[in-house]
Amino acid sequence: MTSQDTYAAGRRTGTSVPHGGRSAAPVPPPPPPALPRRGPGGRRALATVFWLGLVAAVLPWWLDTPAGSLADTPDLLTGAGRITGLVAGYLLLVQVAMMSRLGALERWVGGERLSRLHRDLGATLLVAVLAHLSLIVVAYAGLEEKSILGEVGSLLRDYEDMVSAFVAAGIMVAVGFTGIRAIRTVLPYELWYHLHLTSYAALLLGFGHQVSNGAQLFEAGPVRTGWIAAYLLVLAALAWGRVIAPLHFNLRHRLRVADVVAESPDTISIYLTGRRLNQIDVLGGQYFRWRFLNVGGWWQSHPFSLSAAANGRWLRLTVKVVGAHTADLRDLRPGTRVWAEGPSGTFTAAHRTRERALLIAGGSGIAPLRAMLEELPAGAALIYRARTPADVLLHPELDWLAQARRTSVWYVIGSRHDPGPRQVMSPEGLRRLVPDVTRRDVYLCGPAGLVDEAVRVLRRAGVPRRQIHLATFEL
């Protein structure tokens, strides 16, 4: 039974008071961290580049259009159609660039944030494409006094590259709709993923009509040159991030499975070895996308965090079995070659804003936090939520780390409706456990429900949003 093991705020290890302590004791100032800090500077720079690019994309239209020249409705519609077209062309580029897995992006913005931005921008792109298409068709139909369908027919027949442009729009609509969460969750992940890959085709298919029909891009000149250069740059980023850099990484490190051990009935740890592991530039809390090159697995790439900080001898992932792929991983044979892409993510000690941290883990969410604990300054606190004592993973290691790094660890066991967990996951409970919680960075990793709930509680307890770092295991 779990109730006896529900140490809500009850048990703590590794501080000066071994049992029954009430709060994370204040700790003398730690030695200066050896870890390089990665502030939000890179992210801000990228945001600036994004906005400048957006302005640069629409500016040619502004300069080309004399004031007062949009007198009647078709003119206005054409104008709006051209603006949305330029915006759509630009956003498509940004969308692809964000998914290029370029090292700088993955380190500065982080995979999770990138995919959130990608989803929001995707919705905007979809609307821009649909607006561009319908505005132009309606406007031209008005100018040429044709029916809408007749105009579509003449666009497809008489204009260069319009067939491929319509195909590209169709692809983007399909990708956009399957990106809607409700639809996405009922589709197999692989189907969704491969459909998404066709957006590269949309990038190429949509390009032709921009330069052959785009009022601002048709003419040779700096605008057209700049536009083409931007497309080439993104293609280069893709080639670099998706092909060249991973090839280099994997040829250099040649990772293999060394061992697979059970951590609990439904969780395994996979140990990897390889060459020059001490030269991998990875931080605790980051993840790679892994491909296990055996018969059934080579075509699937799944993200898993490292569950131990880099030590130069081995890498480790701790994986909870949730579906077909993770179930197969239990049967991995030692010696299996592994293809890794990464590291990625900003869920690291280097991205903290304060000296001390509070970590909140749920289930397998302990994996990245366990790795991060090794790199956080002493004095961190960890709250580990698990349903039963058997679900507590890496227990001995956590106890050991608690001693070695002067970390307070609470295991909060039970369902979320049990009194213990309910009490801890409330603003008052948190403040009692960690009185200086508002002056700490809080790292959250676990099931989406737990993370959302914890964010609400933390905000109510007064923790500023920029001190809250999330990893939901969802891309």
Partner 1 sequence: MRRAVLAITGLAASTTALVVLKGSPGTSQAGQDLPADQASVAPGASGPGVTPAPGPAGSGPAPSTRPSAGASRTPDTKQTGVTAKATTAAPRTTTTAPKPSTRTVTGPTVTYRYGSLQVQITLSGTRIVNATGLGMPQSGGSGLRSDDVQARYSGTSGEVVAKQSANLNTVSGATYTSNAYKQSLQAAIDKA
Q: According to the binding rule CB under 6 A, does residue 262 interact with ligand FAD?
A: no
120 binds partner 1, rule: CB under 8 A: yes
- Binding at 426: pick from partner 1, ligand FAD, none (beta carbon under 5-8 Å per type): none
* Binding-site size, ligand FAD (CB under 6 A): 23
Roughly what angle, to the nearest 10 degrees, separates helices 199-213 and 189-197?
A: 20
The rounded distance, in Å, linking the Cα atoms of 38 and 335 is 35
Shortest distance (Å) from residue 326 CB to partner 1: 28
Distance CA 258, CA 334 (A): 5
Q: Which of 146, 256, 325, 405 binds ligand FAD (CB under 6 A)?
A: 325
Binding to partner 1 by residue 213, rule CB under 8 A? Answer: yes
Query: Is 107 a binder of ligand FAD (CB under 6 A)?
Result: no
DSSP 30: P
Site string for partner 1, 46-75 (x = CB under 8 A): ------------x--xxxxxxxxxxxx-xx
Closest Cα to residue 437, out of 321, 327, 359?
A: 359
Nearest to 330 by CA among 339, 322, 321: 321
For the sheet with 381-386, list strands across it. Answer: 408-413, 381-386, 357-362, 441-445, 468-471
Q: Is the CB of 107 or the CB of 132 nearer to partner 1?
A: 132
286 binds ligand FAD (CB under 6 A): no
Among ligand FAD, partner 1, none, partner that 253 touches (CB below 5 to 8 angstroms by kind): none
Q: How far is the CB of 69 from partner 1 (least distance, A)?
A: 6
122 or 274, CB closer to partner 1?
122
d(CA 185, CA 197): 18
Q: Which is nearer to partner 1, 214 or 303 (CB)?
A: 214
> Of 438, 440, 420, 416, whose CA–CA distance to 429 is shortest?
420
218 contact choice in ligand FAD, partner 1, none (CB below 5 to 8 Å, kind-dependent): partner 1
CB of 332 to ligand FAD, least distance (A): 13
Stretch that binds partner 1, among 92-100, 141-149, 167-175, 234-242 (CB under 8 A): 141-149
Q: Which of 285, 234, 353, 308 is nearest to 112 (CA)?
A: 285
Residue 355: alpha-carbon gap to chain centroid:
25
**Do residues 365 and 393 touch, judged by C-beta distance below 8 A?**
no
Half-sphere CA count of 274, side-chain side, radius 13 A:
25
Residue 128 has, within 13 A of its CA and on its CB side, a CA count of 17
226 is a site residue for partner 1 (CB under 8 A) = no
Residues 471 and 448 sit within 8 Å (Cβ to Cβ):
no
> How far is Cα 470 from Cα 371, in angstroms, rounded to an integer?
15
Under the binding rule (CB under 6 A), the answer on residue 49 touching ligand FAD is: no
**By CB under 8 A, residue 95 contacts partner 1:** no
Binding piece for ligand FAD, criterion CB under 6 A, among 85-93, 171-179, 235-243, 302-310 = 302-310
Query: Which residue's CB atom is positioned nearest to ligand FAD?
Result: 323
**Residue 302 binding partner per list ligand FAD, partner 1, none, with a CB distance cut-off of 5 to 8 Å that depends on partner kind:** ligand FAD
Nearer to ligand FAD, 325 or 422 (CB): 325
Strand partners, 383: 360, 410
Q: Which two tokens stand for residue 336?
A: 């299996």
Residue 27 binds which one of partner 1, ligand FAD, none, with CB within 5 to 8 A depending on kind? none
**Closest CB to partner 1 among residues 24, 87:** 87
Q: Does 387 bind ligand FAD (CB under 6 A)?
A: no
Phi, psi at residue 426, to the nearest 5°? -135, 155
Identity of the residue, 272 or 367, whose beta carbon is nearer to ligand FAD in the bound complex? 367
Burial of 306 (0-12, 13-18, 19+ CB in 10 A): buried
Q: Does 346 contact ligand FAD by CB under 6 A?
A: no
Q: Quick one: CA torsion of 194, 200, 206, 212, rounded to 10 degrees?
A: -150
Q: How far is CA 175 from CA 95, 396, 397, in A?
A: 12, 45, 43
- Window 189-248: residues binding ligand FAD (CB under 6 A): 189
Nearer to ligand FAD, 270 or 383 (CB): 270
Helices (H), 315-408: 324-328, 366-373, 395-404
Q: Lay out the sheet containing 315-320: strands in order across.
A: 302-305, 287-292, 337-344, 255-264, 267-273, 315-320
Of positions 18, 44, 144, 400, contacts partner 1 by CB under 8 A: 144
Interaction between residue 319 and ligand FAD (CB under 6 A): yes
Stretch that binds ligand FAD, among 28-36, 122-130, 212-220, 301-309 (CB under 6 A): 301-309
Q: Does 323 bind ligand FAD (CB under 6 A)?
A: yes
**Smallest gap, in angstroms, from Cβ of residue 347 to ligand FAD?**
8
Interaction site with partner 1 (CB under 8 A): 58, 61-72, 74-76, 78-80, 82-84, 87, 117, 119-121, 123-124, 127-128, 131, 136, 143-145, 158-160, 212-215, 218-221
> Which residues are at the interface with ligand FAD (CB under 6 A)?
111-112, 189, 287, 301-305, 317-320, 322-326, 364, 367, 473-475
